Amino acid sequence: MASAAKSKNTVEIFSYIARDQKSSVVKGEIKAIEERIVLEQLKKMGLDPISITVKKVSVFEKLDVNVFDSVPPDAIYNFSRQLSVMLKAGVPLIDALESMLSKTINPLLNKTIKKIIEDISAGATLSNSLEKHPKVFDTMYINIIRAGESSGVLETVLFKLADFISYDLQLTNGIKQAIRYPMIVIGITVTVGFYAVAFILPRFSVLFSQTGIELPLPTRILLGIDTFLQNYSFYLMIGIAILAGLFFHFKRTKKGAIAWDRFKINAPVFGKIFKNMAISRFCHVLETLNRTGVPILESLTISSRSTGNSYVQHKLANTKSDVGLGHKIAKSLDKYGSDIFEAQQIKMIQVGEEAASLDDMLVEIALMVDNETQTRVRTLTSTLEPIITVIMGAMILVLALSIFLPIWDMYESLANN
């Protein structure tokens, strides 16, 4: 009987040839993670196997999603929360997944759930099934699910995941709402300014040059910008495209991702928000995994990956290595993560370790950070609006002066003559 080697927990398509109870030859296909499961299913079907082989799947058959399809975070939130509730109520995993299939949900998520059901029916675990869909479920999500499966608290970690996603959605929507008005104002101002510099001011410049008056500084600056754009706009666009390409290439490297994420958490205005989000995720995930009995080193690994920040993850990886040598978490954080965690937060973790209440302290830190972040997001709009108003007023003033000052000078020259 032929068979092919395959990696553990990888679902394959097996083609089989067998004889039924009437000695007739039967052919078919079964999805399973190993040949043993195929043999069991054939036995249940009353078939005597002749041969079982792994079907070769082309690259095009493996591509199960359109590159333009995507699943919004709110759809993942609903999926996690519903699955958590049904598992907690004692509904079997496959039945729970099948109940979520609907034409009204996101098409890609609906298609993904169908494939997850097929994989689980073939003997795969939920985490390994999710791992096949990185476009839908990120690494943090999969690692937490895997930890929940290993510790037998899948419904608990799913509920926590839903909370994480909900929290991120609230913050993201708050930030978008805070910057929406300023971005619209800036966009309109820049568009009007470009139109004035490119089309209105040059027409006046012909009139100004005929009068022979000396143009004021704002007018000369804007005319210089217009001349530069006319002569070098092509090279400018090429230069911007090259710089953008180099930047995104650098950001995709490990060193570049760490450098960019380090800049993000230290940036003005938004830096503290990004840092707090990373700390909150770390504390929430570590508390959940540690409370459910996941080994501390595995919990630290998953928690560091859940931060969504390469620089923070890099620092916490050093912390994990230090904890692996027998040191306390607080001491390791003070050694490697003092630029991320505040002294008060590290002290709270230290107290939690000494009092055997680390989980409770992690919850307190996460709540403190969450409240601070929400306050910062709420005040972001009131902080940005006056700044944007001043910038917009200054730009309009420069445009107005560059046009009207020469006109006044021209009138004065004509009046004196």
In tens, the pLDDT along 282-328 reads 998 888 888 878 888 888 988 888 888 899 999 998 888 889 888 89
Q: Is the pLDDT of residue 258 over 90?
A: yes
The single-letter DSSP state of residue 131 is T
What is 374-411 written as a DSSP string? HHHHHHHHHHHHHHHHHHHHHHHHHHHHHHHHHHHHHH
Tokens of 118: 């097929």
Model pLDDT, residue 60: 46
Give residue for tokens 């990120």.
Answer: 138
Q: Is the pLDDT of residue 4 over 50?
A: no
Angle between helix 329-336 and 343-354 (nearest 10): 160
pLDDT, tens digit, for every residue of 53-76?
A: 877 655 444 444 455 577 888 889
- Per-residue b/e over 355-379, b at no fewer than 16 CB within 10 Å? eeebbebbbbbbebbbeebbebbee
CA geometry: angle 130, 134, 137, nearest 5 deg: 60
Model pLDDT, residue 6: 42
Q: Is the pLDDT of residue 238 over 90?
A: yes
| Nearest alpha carbon to residue 83 among 174, 31, 154, 16 | 154
Q: How many residues can be counted in the chain?
A: 417
Distance CA 334, CA 342 (A): 9
Is there a contact between 128 and 9 (Cβ–Cβ < 8 Å)? yes
Alpha helices (runs of H) in 196-253, residue ranges in sequence order: 201-211, 217-252
pLDDT, tens digit, for every residue of 265-279?
A: 998 878 898 899 899
Burial (CB count within 10 angstroms: exposed 0-12, middle 13-18, buried 19+), residue 241: exposed
What CATH number belongs to 153-165+175-417? Answer: 1.20.81.30
Distance CA 60, CA 74 (A): 30
pLDDT, tens digit, for every residue of 328-340?
A: 999 999 988 888 9
Domain boundaries defined on the chain: 12-62, 73-137, 153-165+175-417
Per-residue confidence band for 237, with pLDDT thresholds at 50, 70 and 90: very high
Per-residue confidence band for 7, with pLDDT thresholds at 50, 70 and 90: very low
Give residue for tokens 């209440």.
Answer: 357
**Number of C-alpha atoms within 13 angstroms, CB side, residue 71?**
23
Tokens of 241: 């495209």
